[in-house]
Structure 1
């Protein structure tokens, strides 16, 4: 019988045991196990279709047609790849959508200030850059004061410079807030740059775990960074020759 229990977890921010999710009889997630500690930053890598985003949606409570056990904090928030703000609401009202009840504008402005967008609180979404729109999504998640922040390829649509800024911002927010983070990303370099631990999914399970024992802030010029990146690329089937650089 399927078990999907969403409640606070003490020893772990996330505890998943025996998780299976089938689509048309095919197991996309197949008896998967995962633990994430409170305050830990975990990145999830894997080829397209391996189940990364399916797992994230289950942790977010958006997919309950499962077998197995899922324990997550009640306070959790998700940021998807496409920000999709409501164009008829100003930026601060888009952020406010994440809160039930009658929270005021000042609450949203504090969240926007934290991610460097306080000066655009009254702007219309169409006036924002891609990076600004994604920051709005991040503010909408942070306003919920999450114990678990779920990020589903949030930087994928950004240009190179905006991506670097957004990565740095997420790292700073995580260190300041201390919440657990699960980042789904196709980018090995991004995973090594941000995470305490990198997981590689394959065949519907966690097939490999790599702890990232680097100090912060991190730089790609560090020889150890390059070594970890190369090892993960090899796990993903890209080898370690010049073509993997």
Structure 2
């Protein structure tokens, strides 16, 4: 499904060491480590956001639909939750169902700044899930979330 051949990353100083791995459909992988060790750098590379990587560093990601939950919710502040979900292709019913699945039923007409941070992060998770991703990348997924 996905093959990583990253020789390392540095931005003035080393950020990420060598990463060589094969990830198969259904695999669940957790990256643990202290702040600044390169976890987000690796996720950005897998998501295709690092255009400076050599072409053979990430193999197979161009064939995958990727959902990426960033550390920040990255919802557009001038759009309602429903509108934020429709931007990624969700229909009205899909948007409502996705918000319901993350405990936000009835909040579709709210703007992101009308929510708590935990609620906004759940809305961002709904946005990731509504695209039915083949690969789901979660960067600090439990930050600001209630039990």
**Common topology (TM > 0.5):** yes
User: Number of residue pairs matched?
Assistant: 144
The structure whose Rg is larger is 1
Partner in structure 2 of residue 17 of structure 1: 5
State the alpha-carbon separation in 2 of the partners of residues 145 and 87 from structure 1.
23
Partner in structure 1 of residue 67 of structure 2: 77
Listed as ranges, the gaps of 5+ residues in structure 1 are 1-8, 166-245
Cα offset, 1:87, TM superposition: 2.2
State the alpha-carbon separation in 2 of the partners of residues 29 and 47 from structure 1.
12
State the alpha-carbon separation in 2 of the partners of residues 90 and 22 from structure 1.
38
Partner in structure 2 of residue 124 of structure 1: 111
- Structure number with higher strand proportion: 1
Cα offset, 1:85, TM superposition: 2.1
Residue 53 (str. 1) matches residue 43 (str. 2): no
Residue 109 (str. 1) matches residue 96 (str. 2): yes
Listed as ranges, the gaps of 5+ residues in structure 2 are none
Root-mean-square deviation (CA), in Å? 2.0
- Indicate the SS of the match to 1:83: coil
Partner in structure 2 of residue 133 of structure 1: 120
Match of 2:52 among 65, 77, 84: 65
State the alpha-carbon separation in 1 of the partners of residues 138 and 80 from structure 2.
23
Regions of 4+ moved over 6 Å: none
- Indicate the SS of the match to 1:118: coil
State the alpha-carbon separation in 1 of the partners of residues 18 and 78 from structure 2.
43
Q: Deviations over 1:40-67 (max 9, x none)?
A: 2211011222111100001111112114
State the alpha-carbon separation in 1 of the partners of residues 5 and 74 from structure 2.
33
State the alpha-carbon separation in 2 of the partners of residues 111 and 18 from structure 1.
34
